[in-house]
Amino acid sequence: MSNATLELTKENFDQTVTDNEFVLIDFWASWCGPCKQFAPVYEKAAEANPDLVFAKVDTEAQPELAAAFNIQSIPTLMIVRDQVAVFAQPGALPEAALTDVIGQARNLDMDEVRRQVAEEQAKQQEQGEGQGPDQGQSQGQ
């Protein structure tokens, strides 16, 4: 791991995500072939974007973090902006695709993202609350 990337652990994860506006996280393991292929691409992107925090989570050493984010396959790339996960995708991205994803994440309107997240949370709360006898019958009537 180069100086361009930070090793995340359960001890420093929350603070890293809280203290930094834009964090890219590579969930990986030493035995994972695609992870090894993706590592130099990720390092190059880290060097090309020194204003962003590039971090790595070794899923073998940090199984709690992998479980907390429901990581099913590795490598998985996650992007967190303003403490909101705006991108998560398994698979080793080629350099051009990684550059594109970073550009898209940079251009997000975070006020709009937060509004959408709030709407989704409100919908989930409505669906989860009081499934009484008259719930669900008022729609469309």
Query: Count of CB atoms within 10 A of residue 12's CB?
Result: 13
> How many whole angstroms separate alpha carbon 65 and alpha carbon 67?
5
In the annotation, is 140 catalytic?
Answer: no
Selecting among 24, 35, 71, 80, the annotated active-site residue is 35
What the block records as the tokens of 131 is: 């499934």
Rounded Cα gap, residues 98 and 64, in angstroms:
26
Q: Using CA atoms, how far apart are residues 50 and 46, in angstroms rounded to an integer?
A: 6
Is 35 labeled as catalytic in the residue annotation? yes
Q: Catalytic one among 32, 41, 93, 101?
A: 32
At 60, give phi and psi (nearest 5°).
-75, -40
Q: Which residues form the catalytic set?
A: 32, 35
